[in-house]
Structure 1
Amino acid sequence: MVFSNLFVRLLPFLLSLLFSTTTKNLVNVNAFLSPPVLSPHLRKPSSSSSLITTTVPLFAIITSVDELEKDLTPSERSVTAVVRQASPSIAFVTSVWPGMASSTPTTRRRNNNNNNNNNRTPSGQSLGSGSGFVVSQDGYICTNFHVIERAYTLQKNAAMLESMLDQLAGNVTSLSPMSLLFTPDFVNVTKTFVESQLLPPLPQVYVRINSSTNYQQCRIVDVNTDLDLAVLKLSQHDTSTPTTTDTSPDDIKGNSLLPFIQFGSSSDLLVGQTVVAIGNPFGLDTTVTTGVVSANNREFRAGTARTPANTPIRNVIQTDASINPGNSGGPLLNLKGQVVGINTAIITTSGSSAGIGFAVPADQLSVKVQDIIRQDRQHSLATGQERGWLGVEIVRQPLAVGNGTTTSSTTHQSPLQRLQNWILMVHPDSPAAKAGLQALQFQPRFGTVQFGDAIVAVGGNTVDTFDQLANEWSSRVVGEQVAITVENARGERRVVYVVLGKQP
């Protein structure tokens, strides 16, 4: 009764307050729409205005992506889903020559448009830039060779000169008359001095992943000039500096493993099929364009300093998705979010998109990329890195479960019938044990076996057989961070994150 009397007395005051702050509310709405232009009373709200501005937040109207997409057509939703899935894996790739003249005025003006100091291109003479995309969780990135060609060439020339100086120093110390005059220490000091005078600072390649805000240095793993392909590796993800095996799975998931894009098939692309190009044209991050496959099986003659102009790339995809300078090295995606090609060139008379772009097909690239990555991992093993240890024993043969009959389809098969690579044993205190992987358990009292987990993917790569699993582990090294997908007997899948250890 007391509360109702109080409300009746305050009602006229509240109504007058409501009408007196109508214009202020309009300003508040505009402030939400354009946050940098905040009105003074928003920065220091009075007790009366706070009654109005805090009761119905504007952002409460739209609560999810699903709400935003409800009025989109199915085709539009397909494109936005691809963009959400792939954008965190898109990279801006640039190479600079430290100690040389800075970038051109045009580039400087373009860089000045970016207000985030963390996003500034590393200092030095710009040697080229373009796009790329992450292809593995441990930091391997694909781009076009011509994007990093100048940096690659200068690095190779410097390596050749250094090798010549090493040979010269070796010859001087090996000649008996000269060895009396020049001791090895003297020769090494002289060689170091000559190198410092003759060898300029090495060009460096930097990458900024769109899910991050900082540039990261990377090394050029290898190139394939015939396909205009280069594979890079982020330095901070290199196994030459192994991560401690005590890293928790939450730390790995949150900070270290990178989102990546998988290769799809380019051989089944149809003319007229929708494709999406994502890249950094003119330095504009994560620019999305859409189009269709205009033609298949084109022949494009690339032509770089290391690839003569008469060397063709065959089976190239032609698309009308807008591709501009800076898109080179970025992915061409199907509506499943898979890479079907790497954007590499355009035909134009103006220097910008004319609706005729070309992408190197994924079927030619994926095998080369996997070979380069595998060889690089094996090189790490050969140069002192030990093979990584997960700490599990695997059942090597398919399980004979059920009535012994087989069908041509696995749709209705249980996980026990469908899966291989069941975990037989988990070693105590191993990375697998810390990640919570479950092994088979024999129940002697009942004469039954309780199934645990089966490994179905390693680092995003599906492993259907033991041979495929063994091949995935063959090049993994100590300290490497890996995401492992497992499935249990109930068909439930989960992803666990581990840092491979050293086998005891």
Structure 2
Amino acid sequence: MDASRALARARVRPLRLRVSLALLAGAAVLVSGCSADGAASGSGRKEGSTTTQAAVPAAADDLQDDYLKVIKNVLPSVVQIQASGALGSGVVYDDSGRIVTNAHVVGDEKTFKVTTASDEGELTASLVYAYPEQDLAVIKLDKPPRGLKAAVFGDSSKVQVGHIVLAMGSPLGLSSSVTQGIVSATGRTVSESGSGGGTGATIANMVQTSAAINPGNSGGALVNLDGQVIGIPTLAATDPDLGNSAAPGIGFAIPASMVKTVADQIIKDGRVTDSGRAALGITGRTVVDASSQPAGVAVAQVKSGGAADKAGIEPGDVIVGLDDTAVTSITSLSEALAPEKPGDKAKVTFTRGGNRRTVEVTLGEI
């Protein structure tokens, strides 16, 4: 199993924030609010000193100027979203007041309160459509304010490990917060918990970042130094050894290209018409072995005319592999399918009546 699929076994949690946590945010800031000003170099240079010595603070100034420029340009496009019992973030998608966020931020709600970075007053918004399968949603401001600025979304294929990024959102209810880090990895496939406010989605090609993201950051912006949104922060890894608290420096964002694909379909058609996500066309459940360990996916139902049906897979079969990847649970099957595309061919291994079989399946679409 490759590294990206192994990582998907790490526990992750959505970054939706229960409203009550916002009351603790001020104390958290007070504890960690100290920062040291950059010390200025000596006012004079000794005879014979080189220009290289002076270039170091100049480069730091240039980087700081880049940060300030990006924050000034992008932060006004990042909003705080409040549902009835939770807080999250969102990104202004167009000048008509449409905002893209996570499906787990909106939950089952239809109306929301929105606060922009430039206006402390609350605005109202309504749900356009939520797509839990990719944990994305679009809401629309009922009365978009003047000067509302849409963010610029970048090209996910150009994101590289090591790129400096800024995460913008409302962690712990602290609106318009910014943290910085780098792109730690790309192409991660991660499964989101179905409990605690998550949708249970398995999402491919996620951007992993070291920028600090916390509950409340969900739906916000992961931004490069060109001022482009390259992802929507969605998940944070948790460390079981620390009581499932957030693992520092390991967060995941849905890539901008997927965000644009889903949001554009929602805006045009009111729903997602082409998911681009592969599916077997089955309903299944995880089965366990004699040691109570996950041992495969039992097929409960097969969609008539779907991919599995055409390949001869039947209810009662137990799927144990997809191509070279072992399948032990519904989650592992979703993770194995996540990088695939509708129309791709895959070898599905399953057991029937104690016999092991392998068939080639032309994958369908979610």
Q: Specify the TM-score bucket, using the shorter chain as the normaliser.
A: 0.5 to 0.7
Alignment of 1:19-98 (within 5 A): 72-96=60-84
Correspondent of 2:113 among 200, 206, 211: 206
Number of paired residues? 210
Alignment of 1:219-238 (within 5 A): 219-237=126-144
Correspondent of 1:337 among 227, 233, 236: 227
Contact 1:325 1:352 in 2 (8 A): no
- Partner of residue 275, structure 1: 165
How many Å separate the matches in 1 of 2:61 and 2:268?
A: 42
What letter is aligned with 2:143?
A: Q
Higher-Rg structure is 1
- Cα shift readout 1:154-174 (whole Å, capped 9, x = no counterpart): xxxxxxxxxxxxxxxxxxxxx
Contact 2:133 2:199 in 1 (8 A): no
What letter is aligned with 2:63?
A: S
How far has the Cα of 1:319 moved from its partner? 0.4
Q: Does 1:142 align with 2:130?
A: no
How many Å separate the matches in 1 of 2:266 and 2:174?
A: 30
Between the two proteins, what is the percent identity of the paired residues? 36
Distance 1:294 1:128, change over 3 A: same
How many Å separate the matches in 2 of 1:335 and 1:370?
A: 25
What letter is aligned with 1:365?
A: V
What letter is aligned with 1:341?
A: G
How many Å separate the matches in 2 of 1:84 and 1:130?
A: 21
- Cα shift readout 1:320-378 (whole Å, capped 9, x = no counterpart): 0000111111010111111110000101235345110000001111021112122359x
The structure with the largest strand share of the pair is 2
What letter is aligned with 2:74?
A: A
Q: Does 1:323 align with 2:281?
A: no
- Partner of residue 368, structure 1: 262
- Partner of residue 130, structure 1: 88
Q: Does 1:298 align with 2:188?
A: yes
Alignment of 1:88-127 (within 5 A): 88-96=76-84, 127=85
The structure with the largest helix share of the pair is 1
SS in structure 1 at match of 2:120: coil
SS in structure 1 at match of 2:249: coil
- Cα shift readout 1:165-187 (whole Å, capped 9, x = no counterpart): xxxxxxxxxxxxxxxxxxxxxxx
Distance 1:70 1:207, change over 3 A: farther
Contact 1:138 1:257 in 2 (8 A): no
* TM-score where L is the length of structure 2: 0.54
What RMSD over aligned residues (CA atoms) do the two structures have, in Å? 2.3
- Cα shift readout 1:411-456 (whole Å, capped 9, x = no counterpart): xxxxxxxxxxxxxxxxxxxxxxxxxxxxxxxxxxxxxxxxxxxxxx
* Unpaired stretches in structure 1, ≥5 consecutive residues: 1-68, 97-126, 153-203, 238-254, 378-504
SS in structure 2 at match of 1:347: strand
Contact 2:78 2:169 in 1 (8 A): yes
What letter is aligned with 1:85?
A: N
- Cα shift readout 1:95-128 (whole Å, capped 9, x = no counterpart): 12xxxxxxxxxxxxxxxxxxxxxxxxxxxxxx21
How many Å separate the matches in 1 of 2:96 and 2:109?
A: 23
- Cα shift readout 1:129-149 (whole Å, capped 9, x = no counterpart): 111111111100011111111
- Partner of residue 286, structure 2: none
- Structure 1 runs of 4+ with >6 Å offset: 305-308
**Bigger relative CO (Cα 8 Å, ≥ 6 apart):** 2
How many Å separate the matches in 1 of 2:58 and 2:123?
A: 38
Contact 1:293 1:318 in 2 (8 A): yes
* TM-score where L is the length of structure 1: 0.40
How far has the Cα of 1:304 moved from its partner? 3.3
